[in-house]
Amino acid sequence: MSELILAVESSCDETSVAVVKNGSIILSNIIASQIKSHERFGGVVPEVASRHHVEQIGYCIQDALAEAKVKPEELSAVAVTKGPGLVGALLIGITAAKSFAWAHGLPLIGVNHMAGHICAARFVQTIHYPALALLVSGGHTELVYLPSEGTYEIIGETRDDAAGEAYDKVGRVLGLSYPSGKKIDEMAHKGNDTYHFPRAMLHENTYDFSFSGLKSSFINLVHNAQQRDEQLNENDLAASFQASVIDVLVEKTIRACQEYQVQQLIVAGGVAANQGLRERLQTATKTMLPSVELIFPPLKLCGDNAAMIGAAASIEKKQAHFSDLTLNAEPSLAFPLHKKAEGL
């Protein structure tokens, strides 16, 4: 009999509900984006996000079941993002999922949002272990080692800003609307790396990242130019910024794949949509890691969505990791550190 999971995601600014079959087939994936409401504030306003989730969650559940043509009694479990994320936003999804699970007598599975981003790869390809994931989103930049199914260990992470956050902050300085990663990526393709920003921690013996120095260099350059009334080439600025981010991400990821002898490299999170990053990683893996399979989730599954939560939940279900109705939001939920990273 097939496994049908109803999955709920509400950790940030997307209310999403999906029905996922056998952990790897999407029957529906409803995404109600709030981006228009947050755009004018230049970032996500937590209180506004919670209010939108409350309004949307009921409709999203109805639509997800209707589109999948699945009745509640046919479901095997209800999964929900328990963290990391905005506490108020998480609680809306958790409360809805708990209520639905209780009303229909279904098991409940709490899912780590970052495991969800990684498991979006399951819609493209079966994950073979050991694997490595480069997780790059608005809130996170992590290299995650997956020795076996359902085990996620951090070997490196950002010490300050996340990659997506850096894109959004420099985008603001350029007067771009939030989130600005996609626009900077497009501009970068029309420019050249003429400004040569720093590549933080590139040659240090750590898989950790740092993007705040790059962000400050960028902002200082733009402000100094404004004071002197000098014109900067915005496409070159975007290309120079992007080259710095990609150089560090690619170099450290390739090094980690070699050290951990992985079979697959999964790139996930909103910044995995970056065309420059995709191109560079494709070339680097082909030449330096011919035996490593590179997996990018499809663009529409790189951002926050509930289907990825269903894919991760299916692994938790196999391992009988269920939650009870005391399930609570864990805003700072994090993967454990890998042994070697603990001492860093």
Q: What residue ranges bind Zn ion (CB under 5 A)?
A: 137, 304
* Tokens 């490299």 found at: 265
Taking the complex as a whole, the smallest distance from the CB of residue 283 to ligand KG4 amounts, in Å, to 18
138 annotated to a ligand binding site: yes
Closest by CA position to 16, among listed 37, 31, 26: 31
Minimal CA–CA distance to 313: which of 140, 143, 124, 112?
112
Residues 108/98, Cβ–Cβ less than 8 Å: yes
Nearest to 329 by CA among 6, 169, 90: 90
Between 137 and 323, CB nearer to Zn ion? 137
Say whether the peptide bond before residue 130 is cis (omega within 30 degrees of 0). yes
Stretch that binds ligand KG4, among 153-161, 176-184, 246-254, 278-286 (CB under 6 A): 176-184
Give the dihedral sign, CA 39/26/72/328. Answer: negative
Angstrom distance (rounded) from CA 335 to CA 115: 9
What is the dihedral sign for C-alpha 241, 242, 243, 245?
positive
157 contributes a contact to ligand KG4 by CB under 6 A = no
Of 116 and 191, CB closest to Zn ion = 116
User: In this chain, which stretch among 62-70, 141-149, 179-187, 225-233 interacts with ligand KG4, using CB under 6 A?
Assistant: 179-187
Residue 321 annotated as part of some ligand binding site: no
Nearest to 303 by CA among 277, 333, 327, 271: 271
In this complex, which beta carbon is closest to ligand KG4, that of residue 269 or of residue 310? 269
Q: What is the DSSP string of 231-296?
A: ---HHHHHHHHHHHHHHHHHHHHHHHHHHHT-SEEEEESGGGG-HHHHHHHHHHHHHH-TTSEEE-
193 binds, among ligand KG4, Zn ion, none (CB under 5 to 8 A by kind): none
Nearest of 180, 170, 274 to residue 232 by alpha carbon: 170
From 67-75, 95-103, 200-208, 269-277, give the range in contact with ligand KG4 by CB under 6 A: 269-277
Binding residue for ligand KG4 (CB under 6 A) from 161, 185, 193, 330?
185
Residues from 285 through 324 that contact ligand KG4 (CB under 6 A) = 303-304
Tell the residue number behind the tokens 């939940």, with chain if given. 313
Binding to ligand KG4 by residue 64, rule CB under 6 A?
no
Q: Which is nearer to ligand KG4, 4 or 115 (CB)?
A: 115
Tell me: does residue 270 bind ligand KG4 (CB under 6 A).
yes
CB of 141 to ligand KG4, least distance (A): 10
Task: Select the span of 180-188, 195-203, 209-217, 222-230 touching ligand KG4 (CB under 6 A).
Answer: 180-188
Burial letters for 125-145: b for 16+ Cβ neighbours within 10 Å, e otherwise?
eebeeebbbbbbbbbbbbbbb
Is position 137 an interface residue for ligand KG4 (rule: CB under 6 A)? yes
Residue 87, phi then psi, degrees to nearest 5: -60, -45
Q: Does 274 bind ligand KG4 (CB under 6 A)?
A: yes
Q: Is 223 exposed, middle or buried (0-12, 13-18, 19+ CB in 10 A)?
A: exposed
Using CB under 6 A as the binding rule, the residues of this chain from 195 to 254 that contact ligand KG4 are: none
Is 270 annotated to bind a ligand? Reply is no
Does the footprint of ligand KG4 cover residue 138 (CB under 6 A)? yes
Nearer to ligand KG4, 106 or 162 (CB): 162
**164 carries a ligand binding annotation:** no
What's the min distance (Å) between Cβ of 290 and Zn ion?
Answer: 31
Question: Which residues are at the interface with ligand KG4 (CB under 6 A)?
Answer: 12, 137-139, 164, 167-168, 179-182, 185, 269-271, 273-274, 303-304
Q: Which residues are annotated as a binding site?
A: 113, 117, 135-139, 168, 181, 185, 274, 304
